[in-house]
Amino acid sequence: MGSVKDMEILEKPDGDNLGIGRFTFSDDYSVMDWGKMPDSIKNKGASLCMAGGYCFEIAEEQEINTHYRGLVNKDGKVVYTDELDEPTNVMEVDLVRVVPPEFKDGKYHYANRQAINNLLIPLEVIYRNSLPKGSSVFRRLERGDIGYKDLGLDHYPEQGEKLDNPLLDVSTKLEETDRYIKWEEAQKLAGLTNEETDEIKGTLLNTNNLITKIAGKADLVNEDGKIELAYNPDRELMLVDVLGTLDECRFTYEGIPVSKEIAREYYRNTFWADDVETAKRVAKENGIKDWRKICRSEPPQLGVGLDRIVSNMYTSTANEFIGRKFFDAPKLGAVVGDYLDWRV
């Protein structure tokens, strides 16, 4: 289903009936919407699966609906993290229907979704507790895509700025490249009422608080992150996809990134990143759906030694979130120290 995990459908969702599926998380990774990169990160898949499963379990304890059913152990049994003896990279979830938009005449067109149940909401909703270096907000402001008032701010922000209140952002989910949009457009294309939009924002804030507390166990600061949502057969909101991992969130440890941002930072300094930006711009100007086909170069591999450091970041974070050493990894502080040495 994507560049970092596959999905096996055990039962298809139909009408008012949820389906059942299993995510198999791989060690592949993706940056800049490229898809599968040329190398992999050892144990990334299992650590994402374990950390995500744990976050779902805590969400359920807080009475937040999710599509999580459990993790699949080596015997094929669906269990929770406290019942596992060793890591797994397979998660079982409930499935809802997905209605992708139609790409026609260079634009995406969305079918009416209002009052429909058992359906994926075609949005990624994003919380921002701060605006660290590398945040997409600054690129959007520089391009003039948005103004600071569109973000609910009363001034032009600075890099690293901590926000008094979380900024709630939104982008498309089912398009070839995620596209940041205003809440008014998001509400329209997803077929939401004012009350449903407010409920989504409330769920986002509650989930932000939950992830902040879990991350604090690893001495991580929860800078920003995204969630995905669906309506169950009773049109009740539930969290779907994955929750609270280094791929969904931007964490820092004493100001140092501990997330997929490490890989993003590396690739931003390559010739390939410039080619990606050019291809995306040309595709947008000419109504081309797949910008990758016109990109002039292929991505390089991660820098020598960086793949090991990133692997340890994923596995150490999973250990500290869950409170058990499922993976043979140093403590997170030591991993961050290794990264600082590598960066020098």
Sign, Cα dihedral of 193, 195, 199, 201 = positive
Based on the structure, what is the number of domains in the chain?
A: 1
Per-residue confidence (pLDDT) for residue 107, from 0 to 100:
87
* CB 305 within 8 Å of CB 340: no
pLDDT digits (tens, 9 = 90+) for 225-244: 999 999 999 999 999 999 99
Q: What is the DSSP letter of 148?
A: G
Q: Do the Cβ atoms of 191 and 115 come closer than 8 Å?
A: yes
pLDDT in tens, 70-93: 999 999 999 999 999 999 999 999
187 close to 168: Cβ distance less than 8 angstroms: no
Scan for tokens 């009422």, then name that residue. 193
Q: How many residues does the chain have?
A: 344
Indicate the residue type of 235: R
| Cα 237 from Cα 196, distance rounded (Å) | 9
pLDDT for res 3? 65
Query: Which helix or strand (DSSP H or E) is residue 322 part of?
Result: helix 306-322
Q: Which residues in the chain show pLDDT less than 70?
A: 1-3
Say if residues 258 and 160 touch (Cβ distance below 8 Å): no
Q: Which domain holds residue 135?
A: 5-343
List the one residue out of 322, 134, 317, 319 whose CA is nearest residue 224.
134
C-alpha–C-alpha distance, residues 211 and 213, integer Å: 5
Residue at token pair 């982008």 = 171
Q: State phi, psi for 102 to the nearest 5 degrees.
A: -95, 130
38, 301 Cβ separation under 8 angstroms: yes
Q: Model's pTM, two decimal places?
A: 0.90
Dist CA 192 CA 115 (whole Å): 8
Phi, psi of 240 (to 5 degrees): -130, 180
* Beta-bridge partners for 169: 126
The DSSP secondary-structure symbol of 105 reads T
CATH of the domain at 46: 3.30.470.20
Identify the residue whose tokens are 């800078």. Answer: 223
